[in-house]
Structure 1
């Protein structure tokens, strides 16, 4: 007696019941997998993309915006800060590493970040090919940038002003690719890195033109006025950066440095893990609500499977009794019912996994800031196994409760009543 074949025929015999069971169960699986994947993606953004950044110092404004712009590179900066002021802060004995970054340009949607060679150490990024930036107008590419844009060492690019791809404000200075980083699965994979001088020189062109016009306009002024103009000109020549990324030597830095910067300077200091933790706390309320809805749908699905299976066992009592007379044991009949439930769960899980992948990728592609900024992380096998085990356990309990009539089956009574 082939139990598998009988189970498959039973499923085919009631296609509507089978379809509804698979659909309802797959709906709860979609929600469970989707919520778990979103949580995993958010946690990965915090853990991986922050690297070794303990503090971000930038212009006054929203602390969260400063973190999203300078650490995750998914927002616009709050403004610029004076480079000399930032260097003074970096000399604090409690600071282990202070890396300045300056940006405002992009190439085909990928951000160009001016910084120092210490920036890659924040993410433990290593070169795959080429060498570090040694002079102005040299760049190294994140692995994702190099692959998506098909760039190689020796190629040259022209950057565009702003953080969104455009063909209007294109700079005339060419940037030459001198290195490509190994993949890290972090935000640095999606960045184009150069030195601070490249950013400053690219944007100094317009300033020089304005300075020449101002010089011509004030040629007739007296020496005293010329002296004041010279001092103002030197002040405008002070270099600025977008933000300073800080790593502390010890936990004492968390307690003192941010408070002093926010209180006594015109800059602000934001703690990435604290700010993103608050964001996660707010968004987690919605995620938890959807999770409970998913569990409720799963419970309803299991209840439906229990009622349907129990009804099926009662309705097919005569057929089951006939199978017993032909030598089938109670255990074989129970296995047949469990096989039917197992196949329903299996197909529902496959359908749920496929629809989750399609739905999340579609949603992310619609709401992501740029088509290069991918925040969705794939679920690892252990996560899938955990959710699958939970769903199978719930369905197993439902079927276990529904097979009670088989255990207490009285063959002679059933056959006599049928006659």
Structure 2
């Protein structure tokens, strides 16, 4: 019953100073929201990047930026570095250090979703299974990832023409329409955002394009090769051999992804530091508010003591106020942080980049609530001890 009274008194005290209560809640919420956003977004991006690159040891493409090659060929989040001869696939596949090679032919899209010329092995690489229809079997047949199918409205049996370029709005290849033969189940990988077809489809579209009438005179080209090593020795010798070729470049997704997240991590560390400063300011603000409230209500507290309230009741009263402010601010901040992740996820979905879920809870978030509670208790500790040591006679004598 005494605890209930302390809580009731704490609520009444907070309601008595609505502006101060709101500002303290807001400061705490901003700090926790920033922490939640950083932890959730960064962990999901790293997990998604790791999942998309799983099983791909090396990417072979045209000379240029290794990071750009990985982003364009593994994550489909950048433009390719160029094209390479299709004969490079057979060369690599014949190497005993290579366990598997998957070709990619990029260049077209449909309503902003990339059309990827490849083999059925690419679908298997990400555990793709047909939710309806079948996986493609011949040229000009396509299967759509779950997100691409949902947002384009395509279904088995429908036909469409791709457009030139990897973004919506390019010139339409109306002379060579594709036929949808299947829709894939959601995999939680980059496959969900792609339209997949045999490499021969991409060649056919461009060989019969009126603007590329002489394309058939040249050797077939592809954009990149996804390579899986047969032994650890390949990691040492294969990239070196590939890079010695005139037109080829090797990039290792694990290395490039680590480099990318190292760069991104610097910005994340800065944001974490800012969030920590905000939490420290929230702690200081809460301390000042509770301390001033104690000074203003010394007489009230002394009267409570005179009426028989034990010292621990006053201690609990101030601690309860700090606990309510910190817990309420932490809960509000957690919600705001995840709403921010969801908003960023919607923006990234619109650009067909890595997907983020608003309400995916990361294990690292477990420390946020205890940390916020600790901040609140620290802020309330000194005022609570002063309330505990209230001198009834001296306080009432000065009123």
TM-score, length of structure 2 as denominator length: 0.91
Task: Work out whether 1:352 is the aligned partner of 2:355.
Answer: no
Q: Which residue of 2 aligns with 1:63?
A: 66
Q: Which residue of 1 aligns with 2:208?
A: 205
- In the aligned structure 2, how far is the partner of 1:124 from the partner of 1:386? 34
Q: Which residue of 1 aligns with 2:186?
A: 183
Q: Which residue of 2 aligns with 1:376?
A: 356
- In the aligned structure 2, how far is the partner of 1:285 from the partner of 1:86? 38
- In the aligned structure 1, how far is the partner of 2:29 from the partner of 2:110? 42
Q: Which of 14, 17, 20 is the matching residue for 2:17?
A: 14
- In the aligned structure 1, how far is the partner of 2:212 from the partner of 2:259? 45
| Per-residue deviation, residues 212-239 of structure 1 (Å, max 9, x unmatched) | xxxxxxxxxxxxxxxxxxxxx98x3422
- In the aligned structure 2, how far is the partner of 1:182 from the partner of 1:156? 20
Task: Tell me by how many angstroms 1:209 deviates.
Answer: 7.2
- For the Cα contact (< 8 Å) 1:105–1:160, is it kept in 2? yes
- In the aligned structure 1, how far is the partner of 2:253 from the partner of 2:357? 20
Structure 1 runs of 4+ aligned residues shifted over 4 Å read: 357-366
Higher mean C-alpha displacement, 97-106 vs 297-306 = 297-306
Task: Tell me by how many angstroms 1:203 deviates.
Answer: 1.1
Unaligned runs of 5+ in 2: none
Q: Which residue of 2 aligns with 1:128?
A: 131
Q: Which of 12, 27, 31 is the matching residue for 2:30?
A: 27
- In the aligned structure 1, how far is the partner of 2:152 from the partner of 2:382? 58
Task: Work out whether 1:245 is the aligned partner of 2:248.
Answer: no
Q: Which residue of 2 aligns with 1:340?
A: 321
- How well do the aligned residues superpose, as a CA RMSD in angstroms? 2.4
SS in 2 for 1:176: strand
Task: Tell me by how many angstroms 1:4 deviates.
Answer: 2.9
Q: Flag the 1:408–1:111 CA change in 2: closer, same or farther, 3 A.
A: same
| Per-residue deviation, residues 39-81 of structure 1 (Å, max 9, x unmatched) | 2233123211213111100011111111110000011111111
Task: Work out whether 1:308 is the aligned partner of 2:280.
Answer: no
Task: Work out whether 1:258 is the aligned partner of 2:239.
Answer: yes
Q: Flag the 1:358–1:380 CA change in 2: closer, same or farther, 3 A.
A: closer
- For the Cα contact (< 8 Å) 2:175–2:209, is it kept in 1? no
Task: Work out whether 1:115 is the aligned partner of 2:96.
Answer: no
Q: Which residue of 1 aligns with 2:309?
A: 328
SS in 1 for 2:8: helix
| Per-residue deviation, residues 384-406 of structure 1 (Å, max 9, x unmatched) | 33222222222222222331112
Unaligned runs of 5+ in 1: 212-232
1:135-146 pair list within 5 angstroms: 135-146=138-149
| Per-residue deviation, residues 291-342 of structure 1 (Å, max 9, x unmatched) | 1121122112112212222232233222122223334333333332233222
Task: Tell me by how many angstroms 1:260 deviates.
Answer: 1.0
Q: Which residue of 1 aligns with 2:6?
A: 3
Higher mean C-alpha displacement, 145-154 vs 240-249 = 145-154
Q: Which residue of 2 aligns with 1:75?
A: 78
Q: Which of 250, 254, 257 is the matching residue for 1:269?
A: 250
Q: Which has the larger radius of gyration?
A: 1
- In the aligned structure 2, how far is the partner of 1:37 from the partner of 1:102? 34
User: How many aligned residue pairs are there?
Assistant: 395
Task: Work out whether 1:43 is the aligned partner of 2:62.
Answer: no
Q: Which residue of 2 aligns with 1:287?
A: 268
Task: Tell me by how many angstroms 1:359 deviates.
Answer: 4.4
- In the aligned structure 2, how far is the partner of 1:124 from the partner of 1:209? 36
1:355-366 pair list within 5 angstroms: 355-360=336-341, 362=343
- In the aligned structure 2, how far is the partner of 1:339 from the partner of 1:315? 18
- For the Cα contact (< 8 Å) 1:40–1:377, is it kept in 2? no
- In the aligned structure 1, how far is the partner of 2:208 from the partner of 2:162? 14
TM-score, length of structure 1 as denominator length: 0.87
Task: Tell me by how many angstroms 1:364 deviates.
Answer: 6.4
Task: Tell me by how many angstroms 1:349 deviates.
Answer: 2.6
SS in 1 for 2:29: helix
Higher mean C-alpha displacement, 383-392 vs 252-261 = 383-392
SS in 2 for 1:170: coil
Q: Which residue of 1 aligns with 2:395?
A: 414
- In the aligned structure 1, how far is the partner of 2:17 from the partner of 2:193? 52
Higher mean C-alpha displacement, 271-280 vs 376-385 = 376-385
Q: Which residue of 2 aligns with 1:222?
A: none
SS in 2 for 1:23: helix
